[in-house]
Chain A
Amino acid sequence: MSQKIEDFDANLAGEEGKTEETKSSWFKRIKKGINTKTSEKKETPEGLWAKCPQCNYICTMTELREHLFVCPKDGYHHRIGSEEYYDIIFDDGQYAELFGDIRSKDFLGFTDLKPYHKRLEDIWSKTDLKDSMRVAVGKVNGQDLVIACMDFEFIGGSLGSVMGEKFARAVTYCIEHRFPYMVISKSGGARMMESAFSLMQLAKTSGSLSLLSDAKLPYISLLTDPTFGGISASFGMLGDLNIAEPGALIGFAGPRVIKETIKKDLPAGFQRSEFLLEHGFLDFIVPRPELKEKLSTVLSLFKN
């Protein structure tokens, strides 16, 4: 099943899904199924060793963690979750989570290969995450900041009603406390299992941003690998500052879909952060080790 979830995530991210059947079988699997629990094979590489998917450099987890999950050799930014981002950005890793009680609900009774409610229950039983976005308030070099961060691990970081509602409440919270707002995006796009409700979250979140804008509070949108679909077609691209991590894949349509549509190979670096910066859609690219300091500078510039 975890294979299926991974394939599904890969698909959301527009990557080619590789199924067991397509691999040549020199060795036969004796036992059926893969029994590794998702909790044991998170997005964040766990265990003692980590391998860079780009340069194959192998280092210890401790070393990778010290480098904020950036490959010490070629600077590849490993995908990390909200917990890691909060650790990196907030002073002493101290923060308070907000609106953690809101959970997804299978309102439509949506069933594809698996009922949506079953999909949700499976993930809840395997991770501590309640949904694909967590909201937290904390300090960055002493300055207040509310951060809403996505977890790709939870149905591909997909945008559903819960993300929309958390986003809206986070904005209300910011307006009440006069705090700036930051969103860290990492998502395949809208959550299809919530059908048109997920689409309407694009409008709902944009409406919230309109209120934040009237309150003259800064909104920073940090795009990380990968950010697609509904996110880039709404709040992802609406930041007072749109910034990104190096090498992140960011776009509206997934590369696979574009390739099928235009029937041509895509140029190297297409839809990477550097490509977006070049075409004028990002204010700057910031490597993870410099993220906190740069953010702190920006926040103080807005304030003073």
Chain B
Amino acid sequence: MPSNANRQFLDFEKPIKDLIEEIEITKARQDKHHLDLGEQINILEQKILDKRTELTSQLSSWQRVQLSRHPDRPYTMKYIQKMTTQFVELFGDRNVKDDKAMVGGFANLDGETVMIIGQQKGINTKMRQLRNFGMANPEGYRKALRLMKLAEKFNKPIITLIDTPGAFPGLEAEERGQGEAIARNIYEMMRLTVPVICVIIGEGASGGALGIGVGDRVFMMENSWYTVISPENCSTILWRSWAQKEIAAEQLKLTGDKMLGFGLIDGIIPEPAGGAHWDYDESARILKEHLVPVIRQLREIPAQERITQRIEKFSKMGFWDEVPA
């Protein structure tokens, strides 16, 4: 977790930034003049906490999107590291190469072996490039499927952590069948005999997200989004300009509360006040606390019935009128 000095702030987080600076100044003054300003600092810290709570309670859809992309936000590996023990990372799709935008492996979650898979973004400029900004190529989706099949063989539940601005739209991606890779994953995930839980931890954009997003339970973290296209691309196509992204975000109804209301997800996982980037330990603890009982619950259901329920769940999604001609 970044120390206060290294934190990055979004424009609407500025009031918090100001308070943190005020604390730093107060602390400096305390040291310089050998004063006890503990009381004052405590008040400021409480103010920060209040501000963080206040901020996340009144976010617009677009601000929620911004938070989901916060440069300090914890990514898949961070959650794996904080939630599990004995993580053994597994690489490669056994075909083309290892996709660094998709990570996964076996781990011990609360005493039970699980397969945990997710898109990974980089934490600095160099790593962001290596991770291709969390945009997987077909081999990433095939790697994910290989790991899921491995988990199925040994009857281990699967957890996927979704955080992607989309599947990579590249030349080689098309040559190697990006569409087919995602389609195959969606199809195969529908038929997996083990419990599958999917969590949108950041960005959930389109087929790139759904490619590891078909599960018995699908959850969204409080400050994440999930829909068919990013607000920017939606704005470009429908409004013919990048500038309408705020409106597009609003129109797409891409936040957790809306998605839950539509019955397209099964629950929202809360984040620490102000967003997951304020406290990695706490974020991971809350996520783990939600996952463990759900895995136990799903284990109780016979495999074939679980698959039938999974298919039926997605079959119900949609809206239409029936107008006899």
Contacts and interface: CB of A to CB of B under 8 A. Distances in A.
Given A230-B207, A252-B182, A200 B251 contact: no
Contact of A211 (B183, B259, B311): B311
A49 interface: no
Interface string A97-119: 00011111101101111000000
Given A206-B187, A236-B179, A252-B179, A261 B318 contact: no
B173 A197 contact: no
Contacts of B324: 101
Nearest to A261: B169
Interface in A190-225: 190, 192-204, 206-211
Contacts of B182: 233-234, 252
Interface string A164-184: 110010000000000000000
Nearest to A160: B318
A279 B179 CA distance: 13
Contact of A198 (B178, B228, B310, B323): B228
B323 A103 contact: yes
Interface in B189-221: 190-191, 206-207, 210-211, 213-214
Contact of A199 (B175, B210, B310): B210
Nearest to B239: A112
B320 A202 contact: no
A203 B252 contact: no
A262 B191 CA distance: 35
Which of A11, A200, A211, A237 counts the most chain B CB atoms within 10 A? A200
B239 A201 contact: no
Bin the interface of chain B by size.
35 or more
A50 interface: no
Given A108-B253, A161-B320, A252-B173, A234 B239 contact: no
Interface in A1-60: 8, 11-12, 17
A280 B311 CA distance: 29
A271 interface: yes
B226 interface: yes
A123 to B, nearest CB: 14
A291 interface: no
A210 B177 contact: no
Given A196-B254, A207-B190, A251 B174 contact: yes
A71 B255 CA distance: 48
Contact of B170 (A165, A262, A279): A262
Given A103-B323, A197-B319, A232-B183, 8 more contacts: A107-B319, A196-B254, A204-B317, A211-B311, A233-B186, A237-B179, A238-B184, A252-B207
The 6 closest A-B pairs by CB, nearest first: A232-B179, A253-B169, A161-B318, A112-B238, A252-B179, A207-B311
Interface of B: 167-171, 173-180, 182-184, 186-187, 190-191, 206-207, 210-211, 213-214, 226-229, 234, 237-240, 248, 251-254, 259, 262, 264, 310-311, 314-315, 317-325
